Structure 1
């Protein structure tokens, strides 16, 4: 009698001659031991609910496949090679762009069960599966004295974060999240499993740092963790006034240029909702140590916040604390722009009277604040040249930011309740980031801003933004060549979402 393994192999070989309308869900369910969930099963419903945007949850995959190893992921891709179905691969589902980690009518491959975190306590090297979220990793590492250089919101999935680069509270010390990668275990489009590192498949190793989902499915991230004990952090909340706008924007500009302590980080966010017409500022402050040295955050704390939750806490606690920003059941759109840091002489013209006034005009005009459930926010995130240098010191990546200028990464968010408002808010998002980019170009032409390289940060990118077009030409060409080499049939290019080189 043939073993189940032999039957599975025989079935997959026969699949090579199957018609192009073969059903991945049925093939995997009937011929392997891999977990497959259909639309009426609880595991399907639970996984579909785990998206940041309800627009992604509304898409209905034909089934959800839950592999538990690289070998099982490889088996799924050997089946996908026998048909022409659209598919998606999901880590945490934090990208709100439809079809990037979601699919309608084709199989969804969930990495939920690839959730291992294996630490070498001597070297700090960790093996991390893409099924982890940042708060889960922080909790598993709590008490070890080591930390993963992740993002700022605990609910973020590790897969999408690292493949997009990953901006961290600790980026001034260690670069991108991807900068800590030692190697990747990757399932290629044809079902081959390879290890990409600086010495093996070295081009693929570079392409996976900022290249997104174009080259394969990473089933293990081998990362260098860094020493860490308790941290100092939390939120400051202010009710908005025009005078406060000016003071906070000056404070974030000055922090970007003058802060010399790489353990300190801030995110300065303005938020408007139609719930009680709330108009506020919410700040995220972080220091990689149990106490921030005197004066580190004085420009922010001295402005008399309504709420101040800053205190010494564990990093795991800080990651869990951040999850309030995830609004379950809302349609979510995220966009971004990168701007040169304005000089002190032009700070008000650029930040206050320019970018922030534009954002307030867009969100306050055209009935945007009348959209049911609307929450509009703009986040100013310092990107000092030290972050770029820290990334460069740790190896090549596709983002390739020059360490010759200070910048600010701006994140734009719109959350709202009704799917019927999606197209309207799509146009609003385009007007928001488009207006910022137009203004920056004008100030550069007038000599009021430096003419420097301004990539779109993938982790915040709106699907209509030209991610690859905003990278350097050498990075685009390199990524295209790597993609054509590891996926010559274009399976990832043609059959799943995301920005394509």
Structure 2
């Protein structure tokens, strides 16, 4: 396969005959190329380090930050990296809080900030998007065009990591994963070759890239499908998490997911606990692809006693930018996940609600163990993954690594802990593991008791904590495909051994 790829485009290699082992990548890029480089203590370097969602990631100090402007410059950097053994990282929006996934201490950081094209082609209904964008920048570029793309639900999230991890969108029940919309990846491989990957010219590589992470190269642009769209309706509902409201919201969520009433609707339901001040809230994000939702569609949520309701008719750009209030900055931030089967209503209509309550109660019990950690905020988000979503995802050419079937409805559970001081990381690390392991045990026990269906339950990569085994939870044939493509594209282990991310077993 590599031989064929090398024939597509000449390898872009830096014209240097000798790499002096004592010189770092930063030194060589600065001496031998015109690539923009930000050195430590410069204003640009300092600003870039503040743009991580987690202060722990920003506290790691790269030797320099490289800011290539095109695929050729990325290839030149990779050519230099290939000749040394430095650890490095690639950063898009800095949303992923796992240390060393998009951050590095001592080696070079490749920021995609200047790979920020957003080029809309109305004739082909496509948009070429650079990984250095955030989703509110993409929606802003398309604002007023009458078109949108399937992307993030919070505008501040970066494009690059989101698309490589799959991308759950408000529009996913209508169109599938955000990654399903990618028609072409432009990728710099470990041998510095620049290739364009489509489902037709390299189907295995295309599938491996689609919800498959960063094991294969650096994506410098995505060509994605655009869809006609006018004004949308959406916003947030905020509730005080009284026991009665919690019961009603969990029941409404379970029922909505099982009997998903409209593919144009999107919901996320999150519980937030600021444990130091004992504030318990439910925050619900609602969306409808149209200026008004059909009568009654969201009534069980809207009528559940919200103290704040910001839902209104607005542009997609306004909605995504408005959701940026939910970004927690100035704290160490961790994220983890579990995927569970949706419990059916049950013979009496309440058994499924009881299982959902058990998941919530487990989260409350475990998160209470870190209530004295300064600045601790615990969050759990219930993200519906109904059969409707998996059916439409399967219609996209090339498929994806998750390869979900429609035998069951599912729920992606996202877990977040943020706190002030990095010294508390080991304690919160253990609690994060206990939380998602406990939710898995609740679901397994409910399945054994006949309250939940059995089914294929892969992890959602965008929400995984660093020790979680994303590839181990895939179907065996998909994991084997990932191993095969990784071995062909990265035989020397450049991406495997020297940068962060979820790795594929040998």
Q: What TM-score bracket applies, with the shorter chain setting the length?
A: over 0.9
1:225 is displaced (CA, Å) by 0.9
Residue in 1 that maps onto 2:373: 371
* Pick aligned residue for 1:348 from 348, 353, 371: 353
The answer to whether the aligner puts 1:432 opposite 2:435 as a matched pair is yes
Provide Cα deviations, 1:286-318, integer angstroms capped at 9, x if missing partner: 001110110110010111210000100110011
Change (3 A) 1:11 1:322: closer
Structure 1 stretches lacking a partner, 5+ long = 1-8
Change (3 A) 1:358 1:125: same
The answer to whether the aligner puts 1:381 opposite 2:386 as a matched pair is no
**Would the aligned equivalents of 2:14 and 2:80 in 1 still touch at CA under 8 Å?**
no
1:325 is displaced (CA, Å) by 1.7
Residue in 2 that maps onto 1:463: 466
The answer to whether the aligner puts 1:14 opposite 2:14 as a matched pair is no
The answer to whether the aligner puts 1:360 opposite 2:364 as a matched pair is yes
Q: Distance in 1 between matches of 2:79 and 2:13?
A: 12
Q: Distance in 1 between matches of 2:28 and 2:448?
A: 58
Q: Distance in 2 between matches of 1:121 and 1:348?
A: 46
Q: Distance in 2 between matches of 1:337 and 1:177?
A: 20
Q: Distance in 2 between matches of 1:13 and 1:47?
A: 30
**Would the aligned equivalents of 1:19 and 1:82 in 2 still touch at CA under 8 Å?**
no
1:10 is displaced (CA, Å) by 9.5
**Would the aligned equivalents of 2:336 and 2:463 in 1 still touch at CA under 8 Å?**
yes
Change (3 A) 1:199 1:417: same
Q: Distance in 1 between matches of 2:478 and 2:22?
A: 36
1:438 is displaced (CA, Å) by 1.3
**Would the aligned equivalents of 2:54 and 2:332 in 1 still touch at CA under 8 Å?**
yes
Which residues of 2 match residues 413-428 of structure 1 at below 5 A?
A: 413-428=416-431
State which drifts further: 153-162 or 275-284: 275-284
Residue in 2 that maps onto 1:443: 446
Q: Distance in 2 between matches of 1:348 and 1:298?
A: 18
Q: Give the SS at the match of 1:427.
A: helix
Residue in 1 that maps onto 2:179: 178
Structure 2 stretches lacking a partner, 5+ long = 1-11
TM-score normalised to the size of structure 1? 0.96
Provide Cα deviations, 1:421-477, integer angstroms capped at 9, x if missing partner: 101000010010000011211222222211101111000000011111111111111
**Would the aligned equivalents of 2:13 and 2:75 in 1 still touch at CA under 8 Å?**
no
Residue in 1 that maps onto 2:77: 76
Provide Cα deviations, 1:381-434, integer angstroms capped at 9, x if missing partner: 111011111111013100111122111111101011111110100001001000
Provide Cα deviations, 1:103-132, integer angstroms capped at 9, x if missing partner: 111000000001000001222211000000
Q: Distance in 2 between matches of 1:318 and 1:123?
A: 26
TM-score normalised to the size of structure 2? 0.95
Q: Distance in 2 between matches of 1:477 and 1:104?
A: 32
Q: Give the SS at the match of 1:86.
A: coil
Q: Give the SS at the match of 2:17.
A: helix
State which drifts further: 434-443 or 167-176: 434-443
Change (3 A) 1:310 1:11: closer
Which residues of 2 match residues 23-42 of structure 1 at below 5 A?
A: 23-42=24-43
Q: Give the SS at the match of 1:237.
A: strand
Which residues of 2 match residues 85-164 of structure 1 at below 5 A?
A: 85-164=86-165
The alignment covers a number of residue pairs equal to 488
Q: Distance in 2 between matches of 1:483 and 1:19?
A: 29
1:275 is displaced (CA, Å) by 5.4
Q: Give the SS at the match of 2:458.
A: coil
Change (3 A) 1:414 1:490: same
1:201 is displaced (CA, Å) by 2.2
Q: Give the SS at the match of 1:12.
A: coil
**Would the aligned equivalents of 1:165 and 1:178 in 2 still touch at CA under 8 Å?**
yes
Change (3 A) 1:225 1:442: same
Residue in 2 that maps onto 1:247: 248
Q: Give the SS at the match of 2:371.
A: helix
Q: Give the SS at the match of 1:109.
A: strand
State which drifts further: 406-415 or 269-278: 269-278
Q: Distance in 2 between matches of 1:41 and 1:411?
A: 36
Q: Distance in 1 between matches of 2:37 and 2:157?
A: 24
Residue in 2 that maps onto 1:297: 298
**Would the aligned equivalents of 1:384 and 1:406 in 2 still touch at CA under 8 Å?**
yes
1:349 is displaced (CA, Å) by 2.7
Q: Give the SS at the match of 1:393.
A: coil
Residue in 1 that maps onto 2:410: 407
Which residues of 2 match residues 219-230 of structure 1 at below 5 A?
A: 219-230=220-231
**Would the aligned equivalents of 1:12 and 1:78 in 2 still touch at CA under 8 Å?**
no
State which drifts further: 342-351 or 91-100: 342-351
1:259 is displaced (CA, Å) by 2.4
Change (3 A) 1:65 1:10: closer
**Would the aligned equivalents of 1:373 and 1:416 in 2 still touch at CA under 8 Å?**
yes
**Would the aligned equivalents of 1:21 and 1:83 in 2 still touch at CA under 8 Å?**
no
Q: Could you say what the CA RMSD is over the residues aligned between the two structures, in angstroms?
A: 1.2
